[in-house]
Amino acid sequence: MKPTSFKGQNIILGKDQPEYLDLPALVCDDEATTVWSCWELDKADLEDLMKHRKIWIGQLTFGRLFTPQMVTTVMPLEVSVAAYKEREELESEHADNQA
């Protein structure tokens, strides 16, 4: 399983930190500052998931409080909206360059 890029992402966490994988993410400007990332499963991950029907989640807290997490198999609304806005901006830039 590995983090993967996605439309709407606005930051890469862990960038230039060799001890971590780059983590493409969307940091939302909402009350909770929600952070979404997308993970791609390989064949072995899918086989394990089908066999055991479990997902394990670990979070490094470095001795601080554990923060709430959400796990989903569908694109969250915030990511969908960010991707739509990103596409609109690109289309607008393209139209401006054509004029």
At 64-78, the pLDDT tens digits run 998 888 898 888 888
Give me the pLDDT at residue 51, please: 96
Q: Give the pLDDT band of residue 95 (cuts 50, 70, 90).
A: confident
Longest Cα–Cα distance in the chain: 56
**Does this model's pTM top 0.85?**
no
Whether 99 has a pLDDT exceeding 80, the answer reads no
Residue whose pair of structure tokens reads 């997308």 in the numeric block? 38
> What are the extents of the domains in the chain?
2-59+72-98
| Residues 6+ away with beta carbon under 8 Å from 35 | 13, 25, 26, 27, 28
What is the Cα 30 distance to its own chain's centre? 16
